[in-house]
Amino acid sequence: MIQGLVAHGAVELRTGIRDRTLLLMTYLFPLGFYGFLGAFMTDLNPGFLDVMIPGMAVFAMLAAAMFGLPAPLITARTTGVLRSYRINGVPTGAVFGVPAVTTVVHLLVVGAIIAMSAPVIFDAPPVGHVPAFALVMLIAAATHTALGALIGVVSANDRIAVLWSQLLFLPSVLLAGIIVPLEQIPELFQPLSLLLPASYAMEAFRGLALGADTLIAPWLAVGVLVAGAIAAFVLTWLCYAWDDHGAGRRLHPAFGALALLPYAVPAFVVTVWG
């Protein structure tokens, strides 16, 4: 089994580079966007520099997890790859777990590129606490890739997956503090911000790695991200089917919405009790 997982991981890492869509969504798109915002946004909004490194790292997570992960899982299901895996003894958890882990590895590389280059190229404040940055990067990447895997598993086809991905991606870019810090988001939208995993990732980065004041206690944000990652992985496992007829599925795909519960609870608490 271990031997199989190692071989699977090696193949996934290589195919992640070979596959143009994955390469685009994991490296080219987020790093290109980072370069674009670095070149123009810093003039328009100098405050952006303060959140540039975590913001672009979280953006990379969103791009890779929301647009890079679900499509290959859906294609694998519809083209019979998952049937081949099942018949050849590839465990269910490995089918989505290994791509998720390799996506996290790619994201760590992207995060390291951003963290090292932003202070040099754009004069962004460097990461104050590197181990904390790495820890939050790891946890937040795991959370987002778990959600990406869940979208891939519960979506009947690519179009539906893109719809779900956009529902998380666009609000996250606008309301999660990636471009503007969370406390500067209009109060009206803050409850919505707190429903987004990216908001907790940003707060954890800012509080623990950059030493900034945050709206949510940074370790609480880390706790929410961990709970979110566990919920998403468990739901992915329960909703997983190895063919288009739902074979092997233990739970109706609608239950995938429960993955937002770890964010809904603190959002409710903060909204009601401040």
- The answer to the question of residue 14 lying near other proteins (CB under 8 A) is yes
- Return d(Cα 193, Cα 84) in angstroms, integer: 41
How big, in percent rounded to 5, are the helix, strand and coil portions of the chain?
A: 80, 0, 20
Closer residue to other proteins in complex, CB, 73/185: 73
- The answer to the question of residue 8 lying near other proteins (CB under 8 A) is yes
Q: Pick the stretch among 80-88, 161-169, 193-201, 252-260 that binds other proteins (CB under 8 A).
A: 80-88
- Return d(Cα 236, Cα 219) in angstroms, integer: 25
- The answer to the question of residue 79 lying near other proteins (CB under 8 A) is yes
Pick the binder of other proteins from 28, 39, 87, 170 (CB under 8 A): 87
Angle (CA) 130-30-159 rounded to 5° is: 130
- The answer to the question of residue 86 lying near other proteins (CB under 8 A) is yes
Under a CB-based contact definition with an 8 Å cutoff, are residues 208 and 218 in contact?
Answer: yes
22: amino acid identity, one letter: L
Pick the binder of other proteins from 28, 36, 40, 84 (CB under 8 A): 84
- The answer to the question of residue 4 lying near other proteins (CB under 8 A) is yes
Closer residue to other proteins in complex, CB, 54/148: 148
| Minimum CB–partner distance for residue 247 and other proteins (Å) | 7
Pick the binder of other proteins from 43, 44, 46, 89 (CB under 8 A): 89
Q: Pick the stretch among 11-19, 60-68, 192-200, 212-220 that binds other proteins (CB under 8 A).
A: 11-19
Angle (CA) 169-10-2 rounded to 5° is: 110
Q: Name residue, tokens 């370069």.
A: 35
SS3 assignment, position 222: helix
- Return d(Cα 117, Cα 87) in angstroms, integer: 45
Residues that bind other proteins (CB under 8 A): 1, 3-4, 6-8, 11, 14-15, 18-19, 72, 76, 79-81, 83-84, 86-90, 245, 247
